[in-house]
DNA sequence: TAGCATTGCTAAATTTGCCAAGCAAAAACC
DNA sequence: GGTTTTTGCTTGGCAAATTTAGCAATGCTA
């Protein structure tokens, strides 16, 4: 029970931090986002500060479209059940990672795979 | 605008009718569903009569499980945006990349994000 | 530097989701 | 037939979601 409440609290903080970071990346103000989505700047501020436990899916979708991030990711960060149920944890981790990485070329993919192997091999040698 | 409002009203009626029908099929009373889901019988009645515009995804999920219907269907009937099926190509590309990368630690994720930025900045300087 | 615009944020107000309480009708029971 | 239980529903109220209004700080411009 305590862990559930703690998870809920963590969800809102994670979602908020994510939204804040996504907005910063686009260099948009709260009022600019309000103009594009119709969601009040005050509410956006509360969302980013983790003060909203259950934002509506409609609002999450608007923000997902504007910030160009997966809607499912926002739903999950909000703590909502998601339609597909692979291992939730690794799916979340992958989606967050995929969102941060974005689309990569084959070249970049090869480079990243190689680099990961490199840093892992460096670590295992210690 | 009027069509949007009409759609919203239609959504709640459709969802309600669907929920009522699903409950009937299981021959359950409102109080029996309340017992299984924790959602009050009063609220369930309001849902079935289309009096709730934005039920929470958590509640829809509980009902989906109890009634053994797809959660995505209830979300759609409620008028919520649902995740689009990604194009097979980009989904395949993502899955391949994700499979190659596998689970990464936060440290590794930071390192990979940084490295990607580095190789992209190196390329943009040429 | 003064005046204006923009920004992030918070309090108050409004709207809505959800529940406890209770009602009337029907069903079940003796 | 009377009593109890079950049922579906409505109402009032609380808390949360969201908006409106306004403040202080900062940035911009002439």
Report the complex ipTM. 0.73
- The whole-number pLDDT of residue B78 equals 94
- The whole-number pLDDT of residue B106 equals 75
Asked if A37 reaches chain B (Cβ–Cβ under 8 Å), the answer is no
What is chain A's alpha carbon radius of gyration, rounded to the nearest angstrom? 17
Q: Is the CB of A94 under 7 A from strand C?
A: no
Higher pLDDT, A100 or B28: B28
Distance A44 CA to C5 C1' (A): 21
Mutation pick from B37, B58, B60, B83 vs chain A, by most beta carbons of A within 10 Å, is: B83
Of chain B, the end-to-end C-alpha distance in Å amounts to: 50
- Whether residues B81 and A101 touch (CB distance < 8 A) is answered with no
- The whole-number pLDDT of residue B86 equals 54
Asked if B100 reaches chain A (Cβ–Cβ under 8 Å), the answer is yes
Which residue, A67, A57, A69, is CA-closest to A28?
A67
Asked if A99 reaches chain B (Cβ–Cβ under 8 Å), the answer is no
Determine the Cα–Cα distance for residues A12 and A15; give it in Å rounded to an integer: 5
| Domains annotated on chain A, with CATH | 2-125 (1.10.260.40)
Which tens digits make up the pLDDT trace of B37-50? Answer: 999 999 999 999 99
Identify the segments of chain A with pLDDT beneath 70. Answer: 1-10, 83-99, 122-126
The answer to whether B100 and A113 are in contact (CB under 8 A) is yes
Average pLDDT rounded to a whole number, residues B30-42: 97
Q: Is the CB of B29 under 7 A from strand C?
A: no
Q: Is the CB of B55 under 7 A from strand C?
A: yes
The answer to whether A46 and A57 are in contact (CB under 8 A) is no
**Burial (Cβ within 10 Å: 0-12, 13-18, ≥19) of residue B83:** middle
Asked if B104 reaches chain A (Cβ–Cβ under 8 Å), the answer is yes
- The whole-number pLDDT of residue A87 equals 46
H/E segment holding residue A33 = helix A30-37
């Amino acid at each position: 029970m305590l862990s559930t409440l703690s998870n809920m609290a963590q969800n809102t903080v994670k979602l908020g931090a994510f939204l804040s970071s996504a907005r910063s990346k686009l260099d948009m103000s709260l009022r600019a986002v309000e103009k594009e989505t119709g969601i009040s700047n005050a509410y956006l501020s509360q969302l980013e500060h983790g003060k909203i436990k259950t934002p509506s899916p409609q609002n999450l979708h608007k923000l997902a479209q504007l910030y160009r991030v997966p809607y499912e990711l926002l739903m999950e960060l909000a703590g909502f059940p998601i339609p597909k149920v692979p291992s939730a944890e690794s799916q979340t981790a992958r989606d967050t990672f995929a969102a941060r990485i974005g689309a990569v070329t084959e070249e970049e993919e090869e480079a990243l795979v190689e680099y990961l192997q490199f840093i892992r091999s460096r670590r295992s040698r210690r």
